[in-house]
Amino acid sequence: MSAVYILEVDGVERELRGGSLSWEPVINGADVLSCTILSPNRSYVPALGDVVVLSEDGVDVFGGIVSDFDEEGPDGQPTSFMSAFRLSADAFNIYFQGIYITETFLAGTTIEEIATILVDNYLGDFGVTLDPDQATGSSLAADLVCDGVLLSDALGRLTTATGYFGRINPSEEFRLLTAGEEAAPINIVDGDGHHVGDIRVTRSREKSQPNIVIVKYGPPGPPIDIVDSFTGDGVEDTFTLSQPIVGPTPPSSSGLIAYHVVDISGGTETLGGLTSPAIWLYDPNTLTIVRQLGAVGNGVDFTVRYTAQFPQTVTAQTSPATPPVTRVYLYPSVTSASEAQEMADALLAQSQTDKLIVRYSTYELGIQPGQTQTITAADRGVNGSFLITEVHAENPPETQDVLRHVTAIQGTQFRGSPRDIYSDWLNTGGGPTSIVAPPIASPSPTVLVATLRLTHAEIVDLGTVFPIIVPAPGVGFANVPLFMWTSQDFVTGYTGSADWGLRYETEVTPLTTVHQFSTTFSGVNWTARAARTVGLITTDVENKALVVLSDNSGATPLTGGHADNILTLHLTYCIVDAI
């Protein structure tokens, strides 16, 4: 007996054209449905964004929104009494590909807690609620840091690290579930009538199966700010940072480093090199900081602020890795070393197992990716548990039923992230190639970039207030400015005149000749200033901050402007040993 399929568009049942229906569930991505609906006398015309729900024998199997449609007469013939609309609809999972998230999920966070945060802070804005069947799940072994990344990307990283993937069901309920958490409604035994045609079996091994996996992580470009958070237990006095410190004050065996302080108990404690007199000493070889005053109190939270240079690399390899075959994976959105190492370990493990893939077709209902089932095909040497990874469902023109084409892989874990992985094969010459991870660049004389964003009120105050753009580098060091420029995003220009330049804090002599920004310009404008003044700085500039210089307090101070005006100043600079 054929199943009953009902398609609702915009909350009303529509007439489906036979042989036109197909849909394809996707892990961590958007399922896509295609079909043709008939509309007598154009009584209904679909609209982009209309909600589409497909049910199969009373069970909703697809829910989403219309993404595009074509209109023509039935069979391509012009008629005035009937229109045929060929619809394409994206499942509600499409939200994964359009939402950017900024969250840090700390080690120990449960899967249920992650799902709740994603719904409360992001998906809930689109009417998505938490699936009541959401399980507590496992806990993260390492921090998962998502700094302005697509939700689909974050879910892919979660899948790689834990095996859990995201799904929004047709009722717009979000759930994180692990592969195999749901069993398929049927098992497959060759000849039992559950499948149509033959069972196809593929055995494969990854080309040049790697025994060394390198994960290159973090965004390339200038150093970025890092904040590592810790909690004391009353025993430990040594803690490991997530990244090597490169600034804003470079590591020194005797001087202060980073932002010079550890924020703790509402105050600060100094941070320096191994032979410095600071309270906390940093070892660049082990990335550890040691408190000279002893253990941090039980339950006391503290943070360490510094800048780190990306990309960094971590490595996982078999023992022994002979002959060495290396594969590199790029994860520019990952900034956590522990998460990157977890990914490298998982990717290495996945690459070491030969793949056994089974493909079959069936008219059975309720099969979808992420389910597990037992597949037995004695003539093909197959008997075991398989994970369904792909399903393509279609309504053949000659029947009223839906035929599902299923792909399943032996085992109960996904092989790699469901998202695209950008990888570089280093074995380009026909033989195995090993590489050495690039060393961390020496922090001096690294060119650093400082940015200062001023609001309308702060722009008007220039000349009476001299904002710091680069903090003091610490005892024994001096800031050396290189090039300065501004970007102006003004809704309404100003009247009057104002110049900008640069000087050391507490100094009067400017380091650059001042330059007038466009006070009357509305829109985005760029101005630059590289010329330096010639003269003598009469006092020692060791451990001096750099501040923005302006003459807005002169004879014609700024007036007018707009509350939404933004002025952003950028400065490239180096930190050198003070002489």
CB 251 within 8 Å of CB 259? no
Please name every residue paired with 455 in a beta bridge, in sequence order, or none if there are none.
566
Amino acid at 346: A
Q: 3-state class of 96 per DSSP?
A: helix
Q: Is 430 within a domain? A: no
Q: Locate tokens 């013939």: which residue?
A: 77
**What's the pLDDT at 186?**
93
**What's the pLDDT at 419?**
31
Confidence of residue 469 (pLDDT cuts 50, 70, 90): confident
What is the Cα–Cα distance from 504 to 470, expressed in whole angstroms? 10
Enumerate residues 6+ apart whose C-beta is below 8 A from 407: 357, 358, 359, 388, 389, 390, 391
Q: Locate tokens 């650093």: which residue?
A: 448
Q: Is 328 within a domain? A: no
Asked whether residue 154 falls in the same domain as residue 258, the answer is no
Asked whether residue 63 falls in the same domain as residue 138, the answer is no
User: What are the φ/ψ torsions at residue 8 (nearest 5 degrees)?
Assistant: -110, 130
What is the Cα–Cα distance from 132 to 138, expressed in whole angstroms? 17
Q: 3-state class of 270 per DSSP?
A: strand
**What's the pLDDT at 521?**
60
Q: What is the pLDDT of residues 317-331, one digit of tens each?
A: 887 766 777 888 888
Asked whether residue 140 falls in the same domain as residue 188, the answer is no
How many distinct structural domains can be found in the chain? 5
Confidence of residue 515 (pLDDT cuts 50, 70, 90): low
Which among 44, 69, 92 is the end of a domain?
A: 92
Amino acid at 321: A
Instruction: Give the rounded distance of the alpha carbon of 64 from its chain centre.
Output: 24
DSSP string, 221-235: SS-EEEEEEEE--SS
Residue 519 has pLDDT above 70, yes or no: no
Asked whether residue 188 falls in the same domain as residue 168, the answer is no
**What's the pLDDT at 429?**
30
Work out the average pLDDT over 414-434: 32
CB 512 within 8 Å of CB 550? no
Work out the average pLDDT over 427-433: 28
Work out the average pLDDT over 410-431: 39
Cα separations in angstroms, 285 against 21, 274, 282, 290, 452: 61, 11, 9, 13, 33
Residue with more model confidence, 124 or 495: 124
| Mean per-residue pLDDT over the chain, rounded | 81
Residue 297 has pLDDT above 50, yes or no: yes
Residue 540 has pLDDT above 70, yes or no: yes
Asked whether residue 21 falls in the same domain as residue 79, the answer is yes
Which among 256, 287, 309 is the end of a domain?
A: 309
**What's the pLDDT at 296?**
94
**What's the pLDDT at 159?**
85
Q: Can you give the CATH number for the domain in which 189 is found?
A: 2.40.30
**Least confident segment among 1-10, 31-40, 58-67:** 1-10
Residue 514 has pLDDT above 60, yes or no: no
How many other β-carbons are positioned within 10 Å of the β-carbon of residue 57?
13
Work out the average pLDDT over 516-529: 57
User: What are the φ/ψ torsions at residue 460 (nearest 5 degrees)?
Assistant: -65, -30
Q: Is 367 within a domain? A: yes
Asked whether residue 297 falls in the same domain as residue 370, the answer is no
What is the Cα–Cα distance from 27 to 168, expressed in whole angstroms? 10
Work out the average pLDDT over 377-398: 88
Confidence of residue 442 (pLDDT cuts 50, 70, 90): very low
Asked whether residue 474 falls in the same domain as residue 526, the answer is yes
Residue 121 has pLDDT above 90, yes or no: yes
Q: Can you give the CATH number for the domain in which 484 is found?
A: 2.60.120
**What's the pLDDT at 418?**
31
Asked whether residue 297 falls in the same domain as residue 378, the answer is no
Q: Is 531 within a domain? A: yes
pTM for the full predicted model = 0.55
Angle at 448 between CA 445 and CA 450, to 5 degrees: 150
CB 55 within 8 Å of CB 444? no
Q: By CB neighbour count within 10 A (0-12 exposed, 13-18 middle, 19+ buried), where does 502 fall?
A: buried
CB 462 within 8 Å of CB 516? no
Which among 279, 309, 339 is the end of a domain?
A: 309
Share of the chain above pLDDT 90, in %: 31
DSSP string, 474-502: -TTEEEEEEEEEEEEEESS-EES--EEEE
Q: Is 19 within a domain? A: yes
Asked whether residue 143 falls in the same domain as residue 186, the answer is no
Asked whether residue 86 falls in the same domain as residue 73, the answer is yes
The per-type count for the chain, helices as H runs and strands as E runs, is: 4, 40
**The sheet that has 499-504: what strands, in order across it?**
468-470, 546-550, 499-504, 515-516
Asked whether residue 479 falls in the same domain as residue 566, the answer is yes
Confidence of residue 420 (pLDDT cuts 50, 70, 90): very low
User: Domain containing 77: what range?
Assistant: 5-92
Amino acid at 135: A
Residue 454 has pLDDT above 60, yes or no: yes
Work out the average pLDDT over 179-186: 85
Q: What is the pLDDT of residues 240-281, one digit of tens each?
A: 998 888 888 878 778 888 888 899 988 889 999 898 889 999
Q: Can you give the CATH number for the domain in which 162 is found?
A: 3.55.50.10
**What's the pLDDT at 412?**
58
Residue with more model confidence, 81 or 275: 275
Q: Is 331 within a domain? A: no
Share of the chain above pLDDT 70, in %: 83
CB 141 within 8 Å of CB 161? yes
**What's the pLDDT at 498?**
65
Cα separations in angstroms, 447 against 219, 222, 242, 574: 17, 8, 22, 5
Confidence of residue 294 (pLDDT cuts 50, 70, 90): very high
Work out the average pLDDT over 489-518: 72
Asked whether residue 166 falls in the same domain as residue 138, the answer is yes
Tokens of 113: 């807690």
CB 529 within 8 Å of CB 485? yes
Q: Is 314 within a domain? A: no
CB 330 within 8 Å of CB 422? yes
Q: Is 436 within a domain? A: no
**What's the pLDDT at 62?**
92
Instruction: Give the rounded distance of the alpha carbon of 570 from its chain centre.
Output: 26
Cα separations in angstroms, 532 against 470, 482, 499, 529, 540: 18, 9, 15, 9, 18
Q: What is the pLDDT of residues 187-246, one digit of tens each?
A: 999 888 899 988 999 887 665 578 888 888 888 777 888 899 999 999 999 999 988 888
Enumerate residues 6+ apart whose C-beta is below 8 A from 266: none
Residue 460 has pLDDT above 90, yes or no: no
**What's the pLDDT at 577?**
64
Exposure b/e, 350-366, CB count within 10 A at least 16 = b: bbeeeebbbebbbebbe
Half-sphere exposure of 275 (CA within 13 A, CB side): 3
**What's the pLDDT at 230?**
93
